[in-house]
Structures are given as C-alpha cells and as structure tokens.
Amino acid sequence: MESLKETSVETAKKLGLLPEEFDKICTLLGRKPNFNELSIYSVMWSEHCSYKNSITWLKTLPREGPHMLAKAGEENAGLVDIGDNLACAFKIESHNHPSAIEPYQGAATGVGGINRDIFTMGARPIAQLNSLRFGNLNNERTKMLMRGVVKGIGDYGNAFGVPTVGGEVYFEDCYNTNILVNAMSVGIVEHGKTVKAISAGEGNSVYIVGSATGKDGIHGATFASGDLHEDSHEDLPSVQVGDPFQEKLLLEATLEVIATGAVVGMQDMGAAGIICSTSEMSAKGNHGMIIHLDKVPTRQKNMEPWEILLSESQERMLIVAEKGKEHLINAVFEKWDLNCTCIGEVVKGEQLKFYMNETLVAEVNAESLVLGGGAPVYKRDYKEPAYFKQNKLFNIDEIKVPSDLTVIAKQLASHPNICSRRWVYTQYDSMVGTINMSTNKPSDAAIVNIKNSKKALAVSVDCNARYVFADPEQGCAIAVAEAARNIVCTGGEPSAVTNCLNFGNPYNPEVYWQFVHSIKGMSKACEKFQTPVTGGNVSFYNQSKIGDNDVPVYPTPTIGMIGIISDKNKAATLAFSNAGDQIFLIGSSKNCIASSQYLVSTYNVNNSPAPEFNLDEEYDVQQLIIQLIKTGCVQSVHDVSDGGLFISLLESAMIKGLGFEINSDEDIRKDAFLFGESQSRVVVSVSEEQMDEFISIVADSGVDFTNLGVVTQGEIIVDEDKFGNISEYSKLYQEKLESEMAH
C-alpha cells in the first residue's frame, strides 16, 4: 500500500508542514511517518485546526462572565445560561476560501457546518446570521460570487428549516479575490440535556452516522490555511458538497438519540473529518481508539486510508455509544433512514490506531495532534504598518464642506455599503419556525422569540473593517461596542460573544500586528461590557490581488453577540411611530468624519484614523438606553453607525413613510454632524405623553443629549433647508442593490 511508505521533509512541505514540524513528528513517533500519518499531522497542525499562529493571543481574551456554562474551547460552541432552565449555544465560523472558489457550495456547507456544531451539543438551532464581504460591486466576478453565496446560504438554510434573522454585507476592493463568508448559528437547549465532545469508557463503541464519506473536502483544512492563488480553482475537491435535507434528518436523529441516554460523546465531522473527531474526542477523554476505516460507508470505491481519514464530506457525526446500548443508537438512525455504522471502539491509553482490511495503516497519539496538546504554538513577529502613521496625519480642515449636502445625502442613501439589503434577505426564509420577532417590528438586532417564556434573544453580527484597518485596537473595540449597542437598542442586555477573526497571512509582520491589536481591543471592550468570548474561528491567509500585488483583506474581526431580553413585550423598534414625536440624540456628536463612508466615497480618502470613540462614554450611553426602554418612555431607538446621523434618521423614518425636521449643532461642521460616524450615539423618538419622564431620566444620567427636532409626515428638513421627501430616499435606498444585481 503506497500510503504506508516512509515520507520525507519534501513531502511534508508539499502538505503545508514546516521542516521543523516534520522533525517534531519524527520525534513524537520515534520514526518517520508514513503518508497516512503525515497527512494526519498536516491537517491537524494546520492553522485551521490547531490555531498555531493565534492561540497565544486568543488565550488573553476574557472567558469569564455571569452567564457562562462552557468556556471557549471546551465544547463545539459557546454555551450561556439564559434563565428559565434554558441555555443558548451559539458560534460563528468562516468558509472564506471554499466560497471564493465555489460560492454556492462553499457558502451552503458553511451554513451546514455551523448548525451541526450547535445540534451536536444537543441544542436545537433556532436562528442563523451571516456576515459577508465582497469586492467592488462594479466587477462582474463580484456579482457572480455574491449570487452564488447568497443562493447557497438561502437554499441550504431554507431547506434545513432554520430562519436567517440578520447579518451584514459590505463591499471593498480588498475583497475582490478573497471574499469573506462568516456564518453564525444560535440554538436552545434545556439544562442538563447537552452532550460533550468526548470519548471515554474502555470498550464503548465508536459510530459514524449520517452521510457516506466521499472525496469532497479532502485537505480542506490545509486549503483554508494557505493563500488563494491563480490555480486555486484546481483545488475544487477541497470544497465540500452539502445536502440540507440530509442535515435535517441528522438534526432530528441526533436530538432523538441524545434522549436515549446511550450517547457518551458526540462531535460533528467538520474540518479534517474523521481524524479531527477521533483525535479531539480522545484527547479530551484521555482514551484511545481502534478504528476500522474499511467499515466507513463510502461514496466512491477504492478510497485510500488518508482519503477516508481526511474527507470533509458533510452531514456526518462521530458518536461514542455506551457498551450494551448500541441497539438504541441503531434504532434511532434506522428510523431516520441514515447510515449508522460501528467503525471501532474506545481503548485504554491515548493511541489512535487505524486499520484498513486488518492492516494497521496509521498509529498516532491523540494528544500530540490537538490544540492544547502536542500541536505547535507560535508567537509571530509583528510591526506597526507604515500606513498607520499616515492615518494619524489626517486633518479634517483639509476637507471642504460640500456646497450641496442634499446631493451627498442621496448618494449615501444609495451607496452599496448603506442601502437596503433587500435583494439578499428576500432570498432567505426569515419566518420559518415563527420565532423571528423583527420582521414586523424592525430593530437594531434581530429578536428571536423563546416560546413559552417571557424572554427573547437579541442577536447581532458586527464589524466595520474600515475602522479596524484604520486602527485595529480602536476599530475592534468599536465592533464589540456596536454589537452591544445594537442589542441594547432592542431592549436586550449583552451576554456573550463569539468571533470570526479574518486576517491576511500571519507570517506578514504587519498583518500579525493588526491581529494582535485587534485582540487587545476586543479584550478591552468585552471586559467593559461583561461579554466573555465563548469561542469562534480564526481565518488567516485572506489575500486579494490588487494590480500586481497580493494585498491582505482589511482586518475583519467579526463579532457575533447574543443578549437577553427579559420581557419581550418591551422590546424596542427602530421605527418612528407618529408625526409630531420629538427626536433626541443620546450621546454627543463630534467634529469627526474619520473613516466614514462619506469621506471614502465622496473624497476617495482611504487613510484616516478610526472614528472618535470612548469606551466609558459608550458604556454610559448604553446603560441609559437600557433604562429608557425598561421604563417605556421612548417610541423608537436606533443607533448611529454607517452613514452617520442622517442615515440613522432616514432608516427610522422610512419604515412608516414618515420624515424628520432637525437642526444641526453650530459648533460642529455640518457634514460631520450629518454624515460623521463618531461612536456612542443613539437616536430616540419620544411622544408628548412620555416627555416628562424621559427628560427626568436623561437629565439625571449625566449623559449628553440633544433635542434634534421632530418627526414629520414625510418631508425631510435640515436647518430649514428642504432635503426632499421620504419617498424619493426610500426609492434610492430600497432599489440600489436590486438594480445593480439585475445586470
């Protein structure tokens, strides 16, 4: 058997291993590995599986919080207590490289994989979100990728039967080659009904359940741990193929089999397939396994041992079943007409032995393969990029205030990074399961109903990568703050965070500097809001070709956050309710246009600092908003973010066809007042009946607030200048993306 021959350092390099890593493998084994064993180490020691270039810094993130039930790294997903004897499992992960090569299947299998992480723990997925980054919308390739990604997410999620309740889409040139597709899933489980990803109990049976194993996705983890290149399309076998109907069956069977009490441990077969599940579960349980690869159900004949071990075919699980209760496992999966095959057993020690037709084809130590065990750990060199000093040289006084701000307002309302994402979200089923409370009552975060409870979940994904590029520490802190602000503006209290850290090549010291400082900013903000990081995903090697140069994508540390709404009847909306209501700004506007969409799209200025932001000020604003919503003295609540104050007002007004009349601050440039993106600001509307209580609360808070003006029947007026009618802005806002994608 060719795969049993000794390998060399040259073979190791071809599989993505460093020479020193090959030497370490030889030391661990006491001999040179055969090809099966080298392939095992190449995927398990890839960045995608081992986090070897990131784990040192990931360990500095806060992991303690008031609701925590499972810390980062302990389980397949984060787990937090939400009261009423319920817990929430949630996680976000990337599927960037597969989606850049084969957008439909790449995005679809990203959705499938993240949902399996949730229901493998025993939680039923109830909501999905996504964060997408594409290149220039004028490029035909961008449109092709976007069509494929959105259809892949929609087709898989819709067929699987879990609503897509929120997300974000951005367009920047740096994503022209390497798009970003981050998928998030949220699930609910009763206390005491979760299952661990662990192997234990000598003699217990090891089952593979779900789909048959094929050659799709082989070396997918290695593929995700390197740069895309002009021949990457030839790596299509590294892209998995998904089947949402099979996944739906697997979901129901998994939850049913957990209820039998026969399951000792269970893990999804995601990156690196069988070898990942067997090694991680064994290492956690301090046991070994004997696995017979010839017993694995396969879709193709004559698959090599390494192909079976590394395949990332979708909709598969590894189950360790309690000895003597195998019949319970078999009965459930027979009912759901799914493969259920015993392929091995749990043994003493920590050795994994893999056989093919009774021939031992690989023997490795489980602990030596995994993160926290023998997998290598590196702390890369980093240095401040030259552009960072250039950003700080930005001077607002060198930018002239446009003579006609109405033109700017309409341009921003129709900008691809600001306009309605209706073309995207209408392809997603947002109402399946009847738990999405945001469809008829739009809010800053998605609100997901918890049935048979007073409570609801508020969920959000956020990251303005332009801010992070401008200043990674400040920009990432802003990403956390905005996720929290969105949850607070719905009436929720932030609970915990999952993250998807998308960066360029970690061997580039300037990229690694962005990564390190993003982690520092995230830590600072998460500690302030008491939102521990429960886990997530690191995606390095995201590069795009601009001209003749390979340029890293903007550092994009996407923040997924959940919050708890204690009384869903008091959940807030961002929509203005009635003409005549007063409009207030909570927080203070600044003389700042740094890193704003206005500055970039109007003046083509790409080098400026992150917007003004003070973490203490942000916290105080959010605490005030929580109090205002609880007391019921506001009609609407909407944060100020992309596009600035004007766009926030517009978004609140459009929903019911209303308008607004406001006055600007004479101490602040008018373009900064309307379109600047300084942080820690929230727009609220207040009825006449609510006014006395509202004024009393905000006056006692010590937080700056301003009476901006009044809600109108539809006209938009700024400092007595007519900016037009809400109907023309609604047309620009709603139809821009649909128009672009139509041709």
What's the rounded Cα separation, in Å, for the pair 326 and 362?
27
Which of 260, 268, 389, 281 has its CA nearest to residue 326? 260
- Per DSSP, the three-state class of 585 is strand
- Per DSSP, the three-state class of 252 is helix
What's at 719, amino acid-wise?
Answer: D
Q: What is residue 65's predicted lDDT score, i.e. its pLDDT?
A: 81
Q: Is 185:118 a contact under the CB 8 Å cutoff?
A: yes
Let me know if 48 is a catalytic residue. Answer: yes
Q: Is 439:430 a contact under the CB 8 Å cutoff?
A: yes
Structural tokens at position 128: 């999905």
Query: What 3 state SS string does 469-494 have?
Result: HHCHHHHHHHHHHHHHHHHHCCCCEE
Buried b (16+ CB within 10 A) or exposed e, 571-593: bbbbbbbeeebbbbbbbbbbbbb
What's at 216, amino acid-wise?
Answer: D
Q: Is 498:536 a contact under the CB 8 Å cutoff?
A: yes
- Per DSSP, the three-state class of 387 is helix
Q: What is residue 3's predicted lDDT score, i.e. its pLDDT?
A: 80
Structural tokens at position 494: 């932030």
Within 13 Å and on the Cβ side, how many CA atoms surround 235? 24
The low-confidence residues of the chain, meaning pLDDT below 50, are 220-236
Within 13 Å and on the Cβ side, how many CA atoms surround 408? 23
pLDDT digits (tens, 9 = 90+) for 219-259: 544 434 444 444 444 444 556 677 899 999 999 999 999 99
Q: What is residue 232's predicted lDDT score, i.e. its pLDDT?
A: 42
Region of residue 459 (phi > 0: left; psi between -120 and 50: alpha; otherwise: beta): beta
What's the rounded Cα separation, in Å, for the pair 314 and 111?
11
Sign (positive/negative) of CA torsion 616, 618, 624, 629? negative
Q: What is residue 222's predicted lDDT score, i.e. its pLDDT?
A: 45
Q: Is 107:154 a contact under the CB 8 Å cutoff?
A: no
Residue with tokens 């821009």: 736
Name the DSSP class of 610: P
Q: What angle do CA 48, 53, 54 make, to 5 degrees?
A: 85
Q: Is 446:168 a contact under the CB 8 Å cutoff?
A: no
Q: Is 476:522 a contact under the CB 8 Å cutoff?
A: yes
Name the DSSP class of 146: H
Which of 556, 533, 532 has its CA nearest to residue 544? 556
| Residues paired with 460 in a beta bridge | 561
Q: What is residue 1's predicted lDDT score, i.e. its pLDDT?
A: 60
Q: What is residue 225's predicted lDDT score, i.e. its pLDDT?
A: 42
What's at 499, amino acid-wise?
Answer: N
Which of 513, 199, 240 has its CA nearest to residue 383? 513
What's the rounded Cα separation, in Å, for the pair 509 and 96?
22
What's the rounded Cα separation, in Å, for the pair 412 and 426?
22
- DSSP symbols for 534-570: EEEEEE---EEEETTEEEEPPPEEEEEEEEEES-GGG
Q: What angle do CA 649, 652, 653 make, to 5 degrees?
A: 85
What's the rounded Cα separation, in Å, for the pair 154 and 287?
40
What's at 683, amino acid-wise?
Answer: V
Q: What is residue 215's predicted lDDT score, i.e. its pLDDT?
A: 86
Q: Is 52:532 a contact under the CB 8 Å cutoff?
A: no
What's at 372, amino acid-wise?
Answer: G
What's the rounded Cα separation, in Å, for the pair 645 and 681?
9
What's at 272, amino acid-wise?
Answer: A
Structural tokens at position 278: 């067997």
Q: What is residue 68's predicted lDDT score, i.e. its pLDDT?
A: 82
Q: Is 264:198 a contact under the CB 8 Å cutoff?
A: yes
CA distances from 197 to 77, 311, 517, 671 (A): 10, 19, 32, 54
**Chain length of the chain:** 743
Q: Give the burial class of 212: count Cβ atoms within 10 A of its Cβ; 0-12 exposed, 13-18 middle, 19 or more buried.
A: middle
Region of residue 656 (phi > 0: left; psi between -120 and 50: alpha; otherwise: beta): alpha
Structural tokens at position 31: 């001999």
Let me know if 95 is a catalytic residue. Answer: yes
Structural tokens at position 214: 């094929």
Q: Which of 67, 95, 219, 292 is catalytic?
A: 95
Q: What angle do CA 125, 126, 129 make, to 5 degrees?
A: 95
What's the rounded Cα separation, in Å, for the pair 375 and 288?
17
Name the DSSP class of 31: S
Q: What is residue 220's predicted lDDT score, i.e. its pLDDT?
A: 44
What's the rounded Cα separation, in Å, for the pair 4 and 39?
11
Contacts of 140 (CB under 8 A, 6+ apart): none
Query: What 3 state SS string does 156-215 have?
Result: HHHHHCCCEEEEEEEECHHHCCCCEEEEEEEEEEECCCCCCCCCCCCCCEEEEEECCECC
Which of 486, 663, 460, 645 has its CA nearest to residue 562? 460
What's the rounded Cα separation, in Å, for the pair 432 and 486?
23
